[in-house]
Amino acid sequence: MAHLQFSGWEVVDDGASFPGVMLGPSQTPQNRGVYTMYHGTRVSSARLIIANGFKQSAGGTLGQGVYVSRDKKKADGYPALCSPSDRVVLELRVRVGRVKRIDQLGHPLQISWHAQGYDTAWLPPTFGLEEDCVFDPKRVKVVGIANAPSTAIQTELQQLLAKTPKSPRRGGAAAADVCSLCKRKTQQGSQHIKQHCWKCGQNICILMSKHFCAVKP
């Protein structure tokens, strides 16, 4: 019987270095990380959010801010008193900034975290599904439609999203390119370093989160 010898690596990106990371509900968000999250709302509200951006809620478990979750199941249940035929889940890109973990109900900073210099409050899935509250709505951007009650509404919202003006890049940076190996965005003129795997000889990018090679002994 032939035997295979395996080698390679796999890492979990916590979002501190690369934007749009899909963080697990129990993983601690890193300060200044950029994460994929979700927000459930009504169809009419989704139109307004896509066109004009988010607005702060007046209050909630974590005080004022925009309530989002990296757990899509959480967003699927909101708004609570809403027919499924009127419910939309928006996919978001969230810049969390400085994060405060609220690990118990009645935490002394549960609703006053922003006054202490934090940008986001994080409620881990200890008491249910994971939830985040982002104080500044400008830190939350709609990038897609994760769920819609019908194909027609999905198409309408996607078309509306496509018409929204794109945010200018900081510092006038060049348009982003995508590395063919790691599939991460990079800046034009600053390509990722590529090299051959010492074991299998495959061409790899040093920023790949996973590489797996099977070599016969």
Is the model's pLDDT at 168 over the cut of 70?
A: no
- Written as six digits, the tokens of 145 are 């439609």
pTM reported for the whole predicted model: 0.70
How distant, in Å, are the alpha carbons of 38, 128, 139, 169 from that of 110?
21, 16, 20, 33
> Would the pLDDT of 12 be above 70?
no
Percent helix, strand and coil across the chain, each rounded to 5?
Answer: 20, 30, 50
At 170, phi and psi to the nearest 5?
-65, 135
pLDDT band at 98 (very low <50, low <70, confident <90, very high): very high
The two structure tokens encoding residue 130: 């994971």
The Cα diameter of the chain in Å comes to 67
Domains detected in the chain: 14-167 (3.90.228), 176-215 (no CATH)
